[in-house]
Structures are given as C-alpha cells and as structure tokens.
Amino acid sequence: MRRVACIIAMAGLLVSPLYSQGMQDSVYVIQEVAITKERIFVKEQAGMKQTQVDSVVLQNKAHLSLSDLLSENTSVFIKNHGRGALATASFRGTSPSHTQVSWNGININSPMAGMVDFSLIPVYIIDELNLKHGSASLADRSGGIGGSININNRADWNDKYSIAYLQGIGSYSTFDEFLQVGVGNKKIQIKTRLYHNYSKNDYTFYNRGIANIDPVSGAISNPIDTNHNASYMRYGLLQEIYYRPASNHLLSLKYWGQFADRTIPKPTSYEGPDNSNLNSQEDRDHRVVADWKYYGNFGKLLLRSGYAEKGLDYKQMNQVPGLGLIPAIWSESRQQSLYNTFSYSGGTDGDLSWKGSIDLNYHKVRSADSVSGAGYEGQRNELSTMFAVRKSFKDRVNLNLMLRQEWVDGLRLPFIPYFGMDLRLIEGVDLLLKGNLARNYHLPTLNDLYWQPGGNPDLLPEVGYTVEGGLAYQQAFSGHLLLTELSLYRSQIDNWIIWIPSYRGYWEPRNIRSVLSKGLEYNIQLQGYISEFNYRLSATYGYTSAVNQGDPLIWSDESYGKQLVYIPLHSGNMMAHLGWGNLFFTYQFNAYSERYTTSSNDVSRRDKLYPYFMNDISAGSTFRLKRLDLSLEFKVYNLLNEPYHTILYRPMPGRNYQLVFKIQI
C-alpha cells in the first residue's frame, strides 16, 4: 500500500507545478521529438475515456507481445499464465470475454471462448493502438463491458521504399527476428512484415508450491526448480496493400497469417516425475480484411469485408509404463468468421455530425476430442445497427448520443443506448468535465452454450449498466506538453456467467451472479525538452473494486461481498524515457496489490498472491552510417530479481536480459 501511495504522490507532484503555466504554441519540434497538442474536445468522443498508446512506446516495445505492452503502459490487468503462455485481459475488473479486440475493424475475439490470447499478438505488427474504456466501446460494437482494444495498420505515403530489420537475443535462448520491406508512391503503398520468435524458456525459480523438510532440524525450504517443457515458437506474415485511385478514394487489403507452437509446463504444485506427461498447443491463424473508403462533399462512406480462420490443437500425453506417451486429450478446434460493415458519416456543419452503420457477421465453429469422443458444432449469425448523432454548442459543450440495436440468429436483443457529454469548464482552456450513461450486453460464447459436456443453451446475456464521470486537462507550454485525466466509474453487471461444478460430475455455466465493478483510473503524460535533453514521462493508477454481490437464492455463499479472483484492488505503472543526442535511457515500473485465488478471499490460505513491484531498465544508442540508421539497446527485466506470479502455481522469470539491434534504410 505504501508503494502504491507513492505512485499517486509522484503523479500529483508532476501535475501541481504545471497548472500555473500560460498557453504557448501548440507544436514544438526538437531532436527526434515532436510535441503536438492533441484535440481532446471532440464531439464524436464526448463522454468517452480513451487511451492512445504513444507511437514511441510502440517502437520501443516492438519485440514484445501485446500482453507485455498493455501491462506496462495501461490500466488493463493482464492475467499471465507464464512467460510466452496464455495471457488474457481484465479490463475494469471484468472477465477476459468482456474485452472486445479488433484488428483493422474486424473483431478477433474467439467465437468459442470469447477472449483473446494477447501473448500471440506481437507489437511489431501494430501501427496504432487505441483503448476505449467501459461503455466507450459501444462506438465499435457491443459486448465490451470492460472496454475495447483496437489494433490498426496504416500506410506511410511519404515512403518510397524502406527496409528495416530487428534482431533480439535474450536470456533462456530467446531469439526474435523482424523484417519489414515497404515500397510505393503517392498512388500505391505495399508493406510486408515477417517475424519469428523462439525461446527455450527454461528459467529457474524457487518453487514455493513444494516444501522440503529437514529431518533433523525440521526447517522448511523451497527447492530451486526449472521451467521445463515451456518452450514457444511463433512466426508470421503481415501483408498490406493501399491504393489511392483519386484523392477521395482509398482501397486497402491486409492479410495476417501466423503459426504458434508451445509446450505448457506443469504447475509448480506438481510433485511427480518430469516425464510423466506433456502438454502442447498449436495455434494457426489467418485473417484478411478489405476496405473501401470514399470521402465525399457531405460525408465519408466505408465498405469493409473480412474473414478470419483459426485452428487450435491441444494435446495432453501421459506416460504409461510399458507403452510410453499415450494421448489423454487430443482436442482440435476450428473457427471461421465472416465480417461485413457498411457505414456512412456526415454532418450539416462543424457543430453537428452523425453516423450510421450496419454490421453483418457469421461464425461457424467445430470442436472435437478424438480421445473422449466429446465435441460440438455451432454457428451464429449477428446483425447490428448503430446510429449516432453528435452536437457541439459554442465550443463549450459536446453531446454524444449512440443507439444500437442487434439481432442474433433472428432474435432481437434489448436496445442499447449511450449518452455522453463534455463540458469545457473555462473558455479557451482544455479543462473538461466528462461523463456518460450507458447500457451494454454481452452474449454467452458458443462454448458457454454448446460445449460438451456442460454447455447450457438456456443462458441469458450478461447486461451491464454503467455511469462514468471524470476530468481531463491538457496544456502546452515552453516546449512541454501535459495531458492528464481522472475517471470514476460504476458498473452493475447482472446475469454474470460463471462455470461451476455440477452434480453430474462436470462443470457447467450458470447465470448466478451479480457483480458490482467500481473504481477510478488516473493517467498522466508529460513530454518535452530541457536544453539538449528530451524526455517522456507517463504514469497510470487504477483502483478496481469488482465485488460479487452473489445469488440471493444461495444464502450460504461465502463469496458474497468479496473481490473477484485475480483482480488487484490497486495497480499502477510508470515509464520515464530520457534522450540526449544519440543516447537514450528508459525506466519502467509496475505495481500490483495482492490478488485472491479463492472466491471467498480466504486470508488463511497460502494460495493468496502477494503484491509485487517490477522494475525494468534499458539503455541504448542510435547512430547513422552512410544511408543506414542503426540502433543498439540493452534491456534488463525484473531488475531486482523479484519472485512473482500473476496466476497461482505459474511462476514468472527472475532477472533476465535482452540485446536488441535494429537497422533501417
């Protein structure tokens, strides 16, 4: 608690001396740093809490996965099952399926499980990353009760040709290779990105799930263990083609293909022989999206079609004496999705705008376990319509009304409204009072409905009611830019879906809980230059109370009024980047309070996850050799060698290192 309080105090100290500065020029250009005052008073974003990840952060963390970037630079909590293993998001205390994720406008959440594995998304393929918190996600689609994460790619029309290669070498036999080739002119741009990641991932750790007792002294000690059977490999291709036949037309075609193979280590509580079983998982993904954008005198037209296909194979092999490794689970899942979008946006003047859109999606899935014979096939048709009208009044008030209606398999869902407002408190100053009211729905996933055994076709959609308010402030002065925002929210989520053991001997999903999620999010960014130095400072803090309000039919429910499992009450991060000439230095800090692994929050149990504080540093240099731009960076992760878990019995690595070399033409 004291360390978390320090984060808030430091953020406050950064803010306080800056409010007295006067308004200066909004754009400053210095050594490799552009200080640009953004528009935060935009009627199309009225009442919304959004986070735009800085392009410098994307470049600096290009060799990482999206799970690492989100945990280090946003208020989203990542539940990581180990380095290179499954990583899911908890946005504002909600479940992983309550975070909607899109790639260039098409949703990439699994129609089976409803979630996204962020460890499989390399930052290298991302040009723009935008987060919409809470009900702001309704601007994209429904279902994002926690929020939405939007990944986008874009063309650089200033590039005629470019080549970039990045090589990373790190601890645990980790190798990362990235190659980008671009060519084009003012009419057409073609960009190709290739990547490959591999790690043996055999780090050591103190196994606190197993205790050794000295027979003489009775002293208890934890053995040093190795993260066996945890290697991972991933390679992929991103191909982009952009074409402008005229100044008001833009056509694009993007393809993203990826293959991932990883073995899954045993939990640290396991005390059997290392060769007793072997778990592995393969992921194969193909995604393609085509866009046509037309910019007319009265508005913008968008036509988009996309296709996504995923194959996921999971195998568990058990050692049987005399027979060797015999499959206990051999599960194969196939997912196919079609996406179609039509939207038109326009306005009568600068103070009034509107947008209408229609989305038509189709999903088909199949799952089968050849050992048990269990499996299912399912499909879903989705039709969504949205209309929004936004109005600005004399540069002091913005209003934003969005109305969404959806049908699933011909069944009409309840109406989804959103109303947001921005109020400029002082004329000519970017100090805004923001707020919104909204309702949202999240449908059961196809696994929830049809998984065999256990699926429940009678599940009701989860419904959320959200109220949110906050303050946003921006100020540019003497080569510096400050942007800070505070948001408070309260979401009541009814018909919460949870899988529980049944009397039949297997787990089943039920609508048994009501959850109250409330809290605050604070972020601050400060960047600029002082003499020959340029700097970027950013910090976030989140207070997340996600409490189970229980099922009134179960009077003895010990989880009533308790924090949801794995959700930290306090979380925060801070990044400081300093540049001087060709040299740069970065410090990253993350902090998480304790998390419970039981719904009763039983403090007497040993499986509570204690708070941890993570420190990373990196230093490097950029230099030019004829036509080549070169950079070399050395990174140290977990600088203080702190033992920690984000998931019970899944340890994370101690201090480790990485060397990154980049060459660009």
For the segment 251-279, the average pLDDT, to the nearest whole number, is: 84
607 CB-near residues (< 8 Å, 6+ apart): 597, 598, 648
Tokens at residue 235, please?
A: 């390679």
Tokens at residue 289, please?
A: 């999206």
pLDDT above 50 (res 109): yes
State percent of the chain over pLDDT 90. 69
Strand partners, 546: 517
pLDDT above 80 (res 258): yes
State percent of the chain over pLDDT 70. 92
Strand partners, 195: 178, 236
Which contiguous run of DSSP H or E holds residue 214?
Answer: none
What is the model's pLDDT at position 1? 38
Concatenated DSSP letters of 533-560 = EEEEEEEEEEEEEEEE---TT-TT-TTT
Terminal alpha carbon distance of the chain: 48
> What's the pLDDT band for 406 if we cut at 50, 70, 90?
very high
Please tell me the CATH code under which domain 2-664 is placed.
Answer: 2.40.170.20
pLDDT digits (tens, 9 = 90+) for 475-498: 998 889 999 999 999 999 999 998
CA angle at residue 343 from 342 to 344, to 5 degrees?
A: 140
Show the DSSP H helices in 168-227 as ranges.
Answer: none
| Backbone region of residue 145 per phi and psi (left: phi > 0; alpha: psi in -120 to 50; beta: other values) | alpha
Query: Mean pLDDT of all residues in the chain?
Result: 89
* Distance (Å, whole) CA 408 – CA 406: 7
What is the model's pLDDT at position 276? 65
Worst-scoring range by mean pLDDT, 32-36, 97-101, 198-202, 213-217?
A: 32-36
**Beta strands 147-152 and 99-103: pairing type?**
parallel
What is the model's pLDDT at position 20? 35
pTM, full prediction: 0.91
Concatenated DSSP letters of 351-413 = TEEEEEEEEEEEEEEEEEETTT--EEEEEEEEEEEEEEEEEEETTTEEEEEEEEEEEETTEEP
pLDDT above 60 (res 528): yes
Segments making up each domain of the chain, as ranges: 2-664
Highest mean pLDDT among 197-201, 223-227, 270-274, 278-282: 197-201
pLDDT digits (tens, 9 = 90+) for 564-620: 889 999 999 999 999 999 999 999 999 999 998 887 777 665 667 889 999 999 999
